[in-house]
Amino acid sequence: MSATNAQWMSELPPKLWDIPLHHLSIPGSHDTMTYCLNKKSPISQNQSKLLQVLNKVFPCIIHPVILKWSTTQALNITEQLDAGIRYFDLRIAHMIDGSEKNLHFVHLIYTTALVEDTLTDISEWLQNHPKEVVILACRNFEGMTDELHQYLVTCIKNIFGKTLCPRGELLTLKQLWRHGYRVIVSYENESAVHSHKELWPGIPYWWGNKVKTDDLICFLESMKESGRPGINLTENFQYIMAHPSGSLKKMTLPSLPYLDAWVQKQCPGPGTKCTNIIAGDFIGSDSFVSDVIALNQKLLIE
């Protein structure tokens, strides 16, 4: 895997160092941690009872199908960082029968990776890339109690320390570098955000939730004023059951050239229809990350 985008933020033209971060074009990964889904994992407790029953009755049939349709990424967390991903969609959960403090990630089924280990991997990577800034979108929180939220926030503080950017300031890259801030944590739990200045409110994000490419692009155009498009094609239960031999990867890869063509037409900046974070599936399979980063050159045109 080429690491040509590993330091893209520090390599931006100096003029862009004074642009607010929310006006830059930032590549992200949808369901970041699904590269390590556990083949032996139970199905998420948030899934439909029908799916739960089918998996219990026909586990040898249903579970492999769910695994194929749950996987949205092939690169691990370090490879995604090296590829240039700076927004991470982290769906955190605590399994009913899991260890007391073991938090996993989830997308229909749970990951082998633990949250604390993954955050540590990100922190270690950032130590070697001091001018890169990441946005960690912590969400979902399936099975999480107030005590587990407190535990998770404590882990975040202990792991990232003074590199956490406190909420409230609309910072540029130059300001972030000056203060030593490298991590912005978006946390979709109002109580936790209210109690900890290191946490930012959940970032508004519009998932396409479409099976067909044309439908997804139409949706993105209609919602673009929110400035947070995610360009993932998404299956639903009916579609999965009708295509048991398929996979999300088989559905997504043929569509990538059309989706990338849409990406290349976008423009970051302060305008109401400008884009900021654009997240995708199976990053590294095409030029998606480089295309999103390249949009920043449009900010140099006056």
pTM of the model: 0.86
Max mean pLDDT among 57-61, 150-154, 211-215, 255-259 falls in 150-154
Q: Where are the alpha helices (DSSP H) in 87-212?
A: 115-127, 146-160, 173-179, 190-195
- Whether residue 259 has pLDDT greater than 60: yes
- Whether residue 227 has pLDDT greater than 60: no
With tokens 């270690």, the residue in question is 124
Of 17-31, 132-146, 172-186, 256-270, give the lowest mean pLDDT range.
256-270
For 187, list phi and psi in degrees, rounded to 5. -135, 115
Mean pLDDT rounded to a whole number for the chain: 83
Say if residues 244 and 220 touch (Cβ distance below 8 Å). Answer: no
Instruction: Tell me what pLDDT residue 228 has.
Output: 47
Q: Token pair of 47, please?
A: 């899934």
- Whether residue 213 has pLDDT greater than 60: no
Instruction: Tell me what pLDDT residue 6 has.
Output: 97
Positions marked active-site: 30, 107
- Which domains does the chain show, CATH number per domain? 8-300 (3.20.20.190)
Instruction: Tell me what pLDDT residue 149 has.
Output: 97
**Banded pLDDT at 124 (limits 50, 70, 90):** very high
- Whether residue 219 has pLDDT greater than 70: no
Q: Measure the CA–CA gap between 192 and 167, rounded to whole angstroms.
A: 13
Across 121-141, b (16+ Cβ under 10 Å) vs e yields bbbebbeebebbbbbbbbbbb
Instruction: Decide: residue 49, CB within 10 A, 0-12 exposed, 13-18 middle, 19+ buried.
Output: exposed
- 134-186 tens-digit pLDDT: 999 999 999 999 999 999 999 999 999 999 999 987 689 999 999 999 999 99
